[in-house]
Chain A
Amino acid sequence: GAGVSQSPSNKVTEKGKDVELRCDPISGHTALYWYRQSLGQGLEFLIYFQGNSAPDKSGLPSDRFSAERTGGSVSTLTIQRTQQEDSAVYLCASSLDRRLGTEAFFGQGTRLTVV
């Protein structure tokens, strides 16, 4: 597709279960970001991948959160032992190269609800 694709669009899970969120960035984009947005709140940075460099994981809120980017393309955000406070919209974005100040393109997000 032409844009950033995220799946699933909605996910309801029971507290304590693990979830995986997927992001397909725009082809050729080397930079990929994950953000979290709670209801009525601004975007919270989680993790950033840039090419083959070590990812910036400084935004991950706890060790229950992890992310991978395989082959420099698809990324998976994993939340283990989900808690109710993990409920939010998880947004993925990609861009050609951050150092060029290029535009970030966002996916539609995955709405996670932990019950």
Chain B
Amino acid sequence: KNQVEQSPQSLIILEGKNCTLQCNYTVSPFSNLRWYKQDTGRGPVSLTIMTFSENTKSNGRYTATLDADTKQSSLHITASQLSDSASYICVVSEQTSYDKVIFGPGTSLSVIP
């Protein structure tokens, strides 16, 4: 069964600190992986997308890595800000005729002053 797991479930860090969120998946065949940020009360917004051949991709203070062999991805947030408080969702696309997507449960990040 294709699944996406994320850890930790929740995380609290001090403003200015770095953190790393993990995503493990069993989706096969794999098409691509995205990280989304979902602020409270809003829809998710895409941060990065990575295909099979990409190992790392950055978007400002966000850096995503992908190891397609071990089926693991991480999202590293540098110099966290209060506005980074949100749920971070890992989404993996299964390579079907239309790339069916599978959402992870998300990691709830709280950045405190």
Contacts and interface: CB of A to CB of B under 8 A. Distances in A.
Co-assembled chains A and B: yes
Given A56-B98, A99-B99, A101-B49, 12 more contacts: A4-B43, A33-B101, A35-B103, A42-B89, A42-B105, A43-B89, A99-B97, A101-B32, A101-B51, A101-B93, A103-B34, A106-B44
Given A42-B89, A42-B106, A101-B32, A109 B100 contact: no
A41 B98 contact: no
A42 B44 CA distance: 11
B105 A41 contact: yes
A77 interface: no
B101 A50 contact: no
A53 B104 CA distance: 26
Interface residues of A, number: 25
Contacts of A93: 43
A103 B93 CA distance: 11
Interface string A81-115: 00000000001010000110101111111000000
B46 A99 contact: no
Nearest to A111: B41
A65 interface: no
Query: What size tier do the contact residues of chain B reach?
Result: 20 to 34
B31 interface: yes
B103 A106 contact: no
A93 B43 CA distance: 9
B46 A101 contact: no
B12 interface: no
13 contacts: A33-B101, A41-B105, A42-B89, A43-B89, A45-B101, A56-B98, A91-B43, A98-B93, A98-B98, A99-B99, A101-B31, A103-B46, A107-B43
Given A104-B46, A107-B43, A108-B43, A98 B99 contact: yes
